[in-house]
Amino acid sequence: MLFAVRMDVDLPRDLAPAEREDLVARERAYSQELQRGGEWAHIWRIVGLYSNISIFDVDSNARLHEILSGLPLFPFLRIEVTPLTAHPSAIR
Ligand SMILES: O=C(O)C[C@H]1C=CC(=O)O1
């Protein structure tokens, strides 16, 4: 099952720099592990924003929820999920 997921990051301005660095490092490691495993198929930065659009390829809604709610940055994200299906005009 494919999903487009938009994540907008809103870290508190008063977050201690060390805590911010730790969160971002843990987020990167978590994301890269899922990318290596194939469930996090794409991640793109939205130009000019601290936001991304990602494509997930997972077995179920429950698995996507598990992945998203496990993100270290989860408390600081606004997340929008769009389920995808094949477009009839797609050539691949
Ligand atoms: O920077 C972001 O867009 C937020 C987050 C999502 C994956 C990751 O490594 O960081």
Domain boundaries, the chain: 2-84
* Pocket probe mutation, ligand 1, options 20, 28, 40, max atoms within 8 Å of Cβ: 28
Ligand 1: distance of its center to the CA of 88 in Å? Answer: 31
Q: Which residue's CA is the nearest one to ligand 1's atom 5?
A: 27
Query: What is the 27 CA–ligand 1 centroid distance (Å)?
Result: 6
Q: Amino acid identity, residue 59? A: D
* Spatial distance between the Cα atoms of 54 and 77, rounded to a whole number of angstroms: 13
pLDDT in tens, 59-86: 999 999 999 999 999 999 999 999 999 9
> Using CA positions, which residue lies closest to atom 8 of ligand 1?
28
Tell me the whole-structure pTM to 2 decimals. Answer: 0.95
Query: For 15-66, what is each residue's pLDDT tens digit?
Result: 999 999 999 999 999 999 999 999 999 999 999 999 999 999 999 999 999 9
Specify the fold of 2-84: Alpha-Beta Plaits (3.30.70)
CA distance linking residue 51 with residue 73, whole number of Å: 12
What's the Cα-to-Cα distance from 84 to each of 22, 28, 32, 57, 62, rounded to whole Å?
33, 25, 22, 10, 16
Given this model, what pLDDT does residue 10 score? Answer: 98
The 8-class DSSP code of residue 46 comes to P
Q: What is the CB neighbour count within 10 angstroms for residue 40? A: 20
